Amino acid sequence: MSSTGPAVQRPSKTAELAAVIRALHLRRARSPVFNDDLALEMCGPFWRTVVSSKLLSWLVVDGILRRLAPISPAVYTRARFGEDCLEAAIGRGVEQYVIVGAGYETFAMRRQDLMARLTVYELDQPATQESKRQRMRKAGIPMPEGLRYVAADLNAEPLYDALGRAGFDASRRTLFSWFGVTYYLGKDAIRETLESITGKMAPGSSVMFDYLADPAWTPAAWRGLQERCADFVARRGEPWVSSFDPAEIPGFLTGIGYSEINNLEPDRIGSEYFTADPDLVYPPVIGLCHAATPTG
């Protein structure tokens, strides 16, 4: 019998893979770019077993998923870039931190030194949020003070409206983390979200995000990887939708009201973060950006 009711949401598979990648990076890298010592607790039973076993991780990650492995550095590099930006933003008076598409993010659990100075809002679909809470309970991790969950779909609801339901104070300077999200949204939704920050948030608020480079811009040697990754996520029900010419990002952001823009184009990121470990290679497919609104 067919059902005419709404589709049942399930926890994001790509969000879990991001936690898996962070956990594997910490266990394997000689000089980790990002130290997420709670990432393993955010993995489901299957992936926790795989990550904890050298043999299984070799069979599954280096075997079955070997064609996708080259893009995994983008996951832990954006996490490092994000926390670097956050620490600097707190020094400039940021009081609220909004994590859009938070998935199995562990910041609020790991960084109690910063949580004392912030109110943190995590936005994601309800199924992923509930899965995360279950894993926290199983691992004995308490809910951090100052953390608020906000169930939201930015393809259907503006960012400002979603935050308003959770007691967000738009008069306080805020940093928005928007990693692993833009490529799953249409460009109208991307623009609307970015404009809601410049138009409705306190002066001096800022956003950091990653973006998929247009295939025409991507170096020829990496286009096959980009195509395989696009197919991989599409087969799991989370297709990539949007991409950008990296050189056009600053103009795009300036045009909607941002002033201070730090755009790390994909081919620059390796030299910024990977000099301590020559075994690591950043895929020149995904760029990183931080942009702030004028202070007044």
Average pLDDT over residues 212-222: 92
Q: Could you give the CA distance from residue 42 to residue 162 in angstroms, rounded to a whole number?
A: 25
pLDDT at 69: 77
Strand order in the sheet with 206-212: 147-151, 119-124, 96-100, 174-178, 206-212, 286-292, 260-264
pLDDT at 247 over 90: yes
- Give me the half-sphere count of Cα atoms (radius 13 Å) on the Cβ side of residue 22: 27
Q: Of 70, 91, 111, which marks where a domain is finished? A: 70
**Predicted model pTM:** 0.90
Averaged pLDDT for residues 120-131: 94
Count of alpha carbons within 13 angstroms of residue 178, beta-carbon side: 27
60 & 104 share domain: no
Residues 85 and 102 in one domain: yes
CA of 72: how far to CAs of 93, 172, 230, in Å?
Answer: 33, 35, 13
pLDDT attached to residue 5: 36
Q: 3 or 15: whose pLDDT is higher? A: 15
The average pLDDT across 208-213 equals 96
Residues 229-244: what's their mean pLDDT? 88
Cα–Cα separations (whole angstroms), residue 134 to 4, 89, 130: 29, 31, 6
- 89 and 64 share a domain? no
Q: Tell me how far apart the alpha carbons of residues 51 and 42 are, in angstroms, rounded to a whole number.
A: 12
Tens-digit pLDDT profile for residues 78-115:
999 999 999 999 999 999 999 998 999 999 999 999 99
Q: With beta carbons less than 8 A apart as the criterion, state whether 57 and 51 touch.
A: yes
* Position 64 confidence tier, pLDDT thresholds 50, 70, 90: low
- Domain membership of residue 252 (yes or no) is yes
User: Which structural domain range is residue 179 located in?
Assistant: 71-292
77 and 46 housed in the same domain: no
In a shared domain, residues 65 and 78: no
* 131 compared with 279, residue with greater pLDDT: 131
Q: Please say if the pLDDT value at position 2 is more than 70.
A: no
Are residue 66 and residue 78 in the same domain, yes or no?
Answer: no
225 pLDDT more than 90: no
Domain co-membership, 62 together with 83: no
Residues 108-122 have pLDDT tens digits of: 999 999 998 999 999
125, 196: one domain:
yes
DSSP 3-state of 175:
strand
Task: Evaluate whether 289 touches 263 at the Cβ level (below 8 Å).
Answer: yes
Where residue 110 falls (left for φ over 0; alpha for ψ -120 to 50; beta otherwise) is: alpha
- Give pLDDT, residue 276: 87
Instruction: Identify whether 268 is part of a domain.
Output: yes
Domain count, the chain: 2
Report yes or no on 1 lying in a domain.
no
List Cα–Cα distances, 111 to 105, 225, 257, in angstroms.
12, 34, 31
- Band (196; pLDDT cuts 50, 70, 90): confident
Judge if 212 and 83 occupy the same domain: yes
The verdict on 256 and 112 lying in the same domain is: yes
Angle between helices 13-28 and 45-52 (to 10 degrees): 20
Pair 22, 44 in one domain: yes
CA distance 263 to 224: 25
In a domain, residue 236? The reply is yes
Q: What share of the chain is helix, strand, coil (3-state, %, to 5)?
A: 45, 15, 40
CATH number at residue 115: 3.40.50.150
Instruction: For 20-52, write each residue's pLDDT tens digit.
Output: 999 999 998 989 999 999 999 999 999 999 999
- 154 in the same domain as 100: yes
**Residue 284 pLDDT exceeds 70:** yes
Is the pLDDT at 6 greater than 60, yes or no?
no
- Alpha helix stretches (DSSP H) within 112-267: 112-115, 126-139, 159-164, 187-200, 220-235, 249-254
Which is it for strands 260-264 and 286-292: parallel, antiparallel or unpaired? antiparallel
